[in-house]
Amino acid sequence: MCPSISIPEVFNTDGIVTAGGHMTLTDTESTTAGRPRRRPRREDVRAGLLAAALEVFEEIGYVAARLDTIAQRAGYTKGAVYSNFGSKQELFATLLSERLADTAADVLNQVDHLTLLDETVQHAARYLARGVVREQRWHALVVEFALQAGRDPDVGEVFREHRRARRALLATTLAERAGAFGAPSDPAHYIVFATILLATVNGMAVECAADPEAITEEQVTESIAAVLQAALAP
């Protein structure tokens, strides 16, 4: 049974000022008596902002989230967000892209040791179904962002770029596995299957959120498995 949740309504790191004060840090500037502090590395700042953004977005939704709230949660100023991501929609799109890359890598790891088609399909489907059922807040965010993309041209442009990249990556992932089963290994062959698989995952996430008592993880697994079976079969 799916867990029930509520879906929300639809400056540079060379001189970071922390949210807790007005101190600018340089590489060797002393911040306490005789004890120098090093400026945070850009990658650490970026990772901290992404982690804070995910927390804030999941708590209050994309539209309600403010960049200064995210920056404060991470311990930086809003300028650090603009330096690393440029805008709220770019920040969220980065979360989407990294989530996609992580999911694709995790699925491949799940099935890398398998040689039979049915086993591969079931393992991959179960993994994806768990994400649908157990990460409802994330899927609600994606739906909210998609709705906002229809209202805001700037958000729409970012979202379209993300979806195209997502379909392309998924098609490549399907092609990598399909070749082992004697099916075509050209990613272009799998663009339609990638689109159908994404629609299935997104649709089941919406159904799960709308009626968590009726939609089970097994039903989600079976739906995803049907698409994967059709895509990977020779």
One DSSP character per residue, 105-138 reads: HHHHHHHTT--SHHHHHHHHHHHHHHHHHH-HHH
| 216 assigned to some structural domain | yes
How high is the pLDDT of residue 176? 87
Rounded Cα gap, residues 177 and 157, in angstroms:
31
| 6 assigned to some structural domain | no
**Domain containing 209 — which CATH number?**
1.10.357.10
| Tens digit of each residue's pLDDT (9 = 90 or more) over 7-62 | 443 334 433 444 444 333 434 444 445 555 567 788 899 999 999 999 999 999 99
| 55 assigned to some structural domain | yes
Same domain flag for 75 and 94: no
User: CB–CB of 198/170 below 8 Å?
Assistant: yes
**Domain containing 28 — which CATH number?**
1.10.10
| 1 assigned to some structural domain | no
| pTM metric for this prediction | 0.77
Same domain flag for 219 and 160: yes
Q: Indicate the number of domains in the chain.
A: 2
Same domain flag for 190 and 94: yes
**pLDDT surpassing 70 at residue 77:** yes
- Which residue would you say has higher pLDDT here, 70 or 104? 70
Same domain flag for 103 and 62: no
Rounded Cα gap, residues 46 and 50, in angstroms:
6
180 falls in which pLDDT band (50, 70, 90)?
confident
Same domain flag for 205 and 144: yes
Average pLDDT over the chain reads 85
| Tens digit of each residue's pLDDT (9 = 90 or more) over 214-230 | 999 999 999 999 999 99
User: CB–CB of 228/197 below 8 Å?
Assistant: yes
Same domain flag for 185 and 116: yes
Around Cβ 104, how many Cβ atoms within 10 Å?
Answer: 17
Same domain flag for 74 and 93: no
Same domain flag for 74 and 97: no
Closest C-alpha to 128, from 223, 5, 215? 223
Q: Residue 207 corresponds to which amino acid?
A: E
Full residue range of the structural domain in which residue 227 is found: 88-232
| Tens digit of each residue's pLDDT (9 = 90 or more) over 17-32 | 444 443 334 344 444 4
| 4 assigned to some structural domain | no
